[in-house]
């Protein structure tokens, strides 16, 4: 679907867009584990301003290829969010359930602003109440792996994104 070169080029562009958007204030990039880990590492190196990084873990897939609908926060950091600009870095927006739940939790902590940067967006999310602010690529309605995306914990290591 997307080659390593295409991904690198788009992540660089996203870094410039984010740098332009967040000129001032305290920026915290929150990666959604495990899928976004590779994306977050590449993305933050392209953002040309001070920032901090943290991670949160949620699960809704288990070993299947479709979201179960039940979202569990597996790791919820205690990082102070109040008054900070929060940028959630997500590997893929699919159903939107996980992201909607995460936004609900993070909004309750009084950030100055909150936005989402997704490497991939399937444009089928019905659970989200606001648009994803930064999008790397529109993705087909297929199950994708590689560049952090997995199927039952396999394929995350691939430098490109492919369809199963």
To the nearest 10°, report the CA torsion of 147, 7, 32, 101.
-120
Write out the H or E segment, with its range, that includes residue 10.
Answer: helix 4-21
Nearest CA to 130 out of 143, 144, 113, 142 is that of 113
Looking at 42, 94, 138, 150, which residue is catalytic?
A: 94
- Active site annotation includes 94: yes
What is the CA 88 to chain-centroid distance, rounded? 6
Other beta carbons less than 10 A from residue 47's beta carbon: 20
User: What does the alpha-carbon distance between residue 146 and residue 155 come to, in Å, rounded to a whole number?
Assistant: 5
- Show which residues are catalytic: 94
């Amino acid at each position: 679907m997307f080659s390593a070169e295409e991904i690198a080029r788009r992540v660089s562009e996203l870094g410039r867009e984010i740098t332009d958007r967040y000129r001032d204030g305290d920026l915290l990039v929150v990666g959604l584990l495990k899928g976004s880990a590779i994306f977050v590492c590449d993305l933050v190196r392209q953002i040309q301003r001070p920032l901090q990084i943290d991670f949160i873990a949620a699960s809704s897939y288990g070993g299947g290829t479709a979201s179960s609908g039940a979202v569990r926060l597996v790791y919820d950091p205690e990082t102070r969010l109040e008054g900070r600009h929060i940028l959630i870095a997500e590997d893929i927006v699919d159903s939107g359930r996980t992201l909607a739940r995460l936004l609900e939790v993070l909004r309750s902590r009084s950030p100055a602003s909150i936005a989402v940067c997704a490497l991939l967006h399937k444009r089928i999310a019905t659970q989200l109440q606001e648009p994803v602010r930064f999008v790397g690529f529109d993705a087909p309605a297929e199950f994708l792996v590689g560049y952090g995306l997995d199927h039952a914990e396999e394929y995350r290591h691939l430098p490109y994104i492919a369809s199963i």
